[in-house]
Chains A and B, each alone.
Chain A
Amino acid sequence: MSAPNVRVLYIDDEENNLQAFKASFRRQYEIYTAISAAEGLKVLQNIPIQVILADQKMPGTTGVEFFKSITDTYPDPIRILLTGYTDIEALADAINHGDIYRYITKPWNDLELHNSIKNAYDAYKAKIDLRNKVTELEKTNDELNRFIYSISHELRAPLVSAMGIVNLVKMEGLYNSSGEYWSLIETCSNKLDYYIQKTLQYYKNNKIVSENSAVDFHSLIPDLIDLHTYSDKETTFTVNIDQKEAFYGDAFRIEVILGNLISNAIKYQKETETNKRVNVNAVVRREAVEITINDNGMGILNEHLEKIFTQFFKSKVNQGSGLGLFIVKEALNKINGKITVSSNLAEGSTFKITIPNAK
């Protein structure tokens, strides 16, 4: 039942108490004693103490004052206060400011005190273990994130060179020179690039701290539509923006969310549809912005509606990565946004998102 490597510091202005404590506990603990708060501090500076006992009533600095004074400099040791009298005010103060684990009335009972020290030591160990685990997890998480980030960059550089070569082939009029091989290479490269870009978006959404800035939907939404219709001019967009209030929010994530929804609305059109259209409506209010993106595309099967936001879910009919809506959902989670979807195969899909105004 001995735990000889528990280092206990006992501070008391009465030498007799210090001696009595030593006599009772020297076999169980590694004991350090001090006759005043100042002496106690000297011990703390030199020895990694795990449990501190301090008498409340000492001339100069009281036990509570001593504990308060070391909350920032020595936050780890667990504190036990010894009081010769039940001074409620001192106790309340101690618990509020000095981070006291227990208080024990004097004269102490050896068994009670022993148990308290033992429990205090367990609390100390749990605290340190938890902190080490958290540090370890943060490090692993960070490494994993950095790995994803740098691998995506490293993968993208040569891919982008390949895309550059395809561009050059087009410029030199050789694109159709070997059947459809060049166009197949282009399709594959674009698809791989899309995956890499989604991976980077996912990484950034996880990593980047949310920062609020003014968002002007009058310019953001048309910009995003331009960006995504660059390679597809068949879809007609109708945009309605009602923004009279200033809106503050996480511009990066809002861009990711809208970008993915707009690109989906274009991508999941019916091939046979001659009048492909997408409506984007945004209404900015003092509390939140509400945006609906509605298309007359292929729609979503009822039984798929619940799964579309999960990672790597894709329907059989098309070429999605299974990442877009998952990233949308993750990004919305980070900024307390909401999304709902209604869809049927005849009329198309409507996504409705609400993002709080951080103004």
Chain B
Amino acid sequence: MLNNNKTVLLIDDNVVDLKINSKIIKISNLFDEIITCLSGEEALAYLNKTLHDGGKLPDFILLDIQMPDMDGFEFLELYKTLPNRLTDHCLIAMLSSTLDFGDIKRAEASLHVIKLLKKPLILKELEELLKKYFTR
């Protein structure tokens, strides 16, 4: 129902979590294509390259908060400066094992971020979120 040729971009420095979450999404069949990046820098490079090539841009980004060097919030700052044809159509959910109210509020106050999802990623929560935002 949701999957009509949609692409998701996963950004997480933790290889294990990246593997788990790609697998969950693959089984769920929510997206056609799954792209993974191990850092915010790598993700920005990927997005810039795709924007330049005219390739398929992601419709949804799952962004980990706690990453070395560039954390999730820093990534968002740079993401904001990317062209509208990406940012207008792409939604972001942040992902974290935090239980910190401050982080939750801060994440959900950011432009483009629709929700902070807690790790471990629960398929049902992800499905409900996507249903809410992608149903047309």
Contact = CB atoms under 8 A, between A and B. Distances in A.
A60 B23 CA distance: 83
Given A157-B66, A161-B17, A172-B27, A167 B98 contact: no
Contacts of B66: 153, 157
Interface in B95-136: 97-99, 101, 119-123
Contacts of A24: none
Given A153-B98, A156-B97, A171-B123, A161 B16 contact: yes
Contacts, number: 46
Contact of B14 (A161, A165, A252): A161
A153 B24 contact: no
Interface centre among B24, B97, B121 (most CB of A within 10 A): B97
A196 to B, nearest CB: 9
Interface string A161-178: 101110110011000000
Interface string B26-57: 01000000000000000000000000000000
Interface string B68-102: 00000000000000000000000000000111010
Contacts of A252: 101
Given A157-B14, A157-B66, A164 B27 contact: no
Given A167-B120, A167-B122, A172-B27, A161 B99 contact: no
A333 interface: no
Nearest to B21: A164
B97 A160 contact: yes
Interface residues of B, number: 18
A192 interface: no
Query: Which applies to chain A's interface (DSSP): helix, strand, loop or mixed?
Result: helix
A177 to B, nearest CB: 16
Nearest to B119: A160
Contacts of A161: 14, 16-17, 20, 119-120
B64 to A, nearest CB: 10
A197 interface: yes
A328 to B, nearest CB: 18
A164 B119 contact: yes
13 contacts: A157-B14, A157-B66, A158-B16, A161-B120, A164-B17, A164-B21, A165-B16, A167-B24, A167-B121, A167-B122, A168-B20, A172-B27, A200-B99
Closest 9 CB pairs of A and B: A164-B120, A164-B20, A160-B97, A160-B119, A163-B120, A161-B16, A157-B97, A156-B97, A160-B120
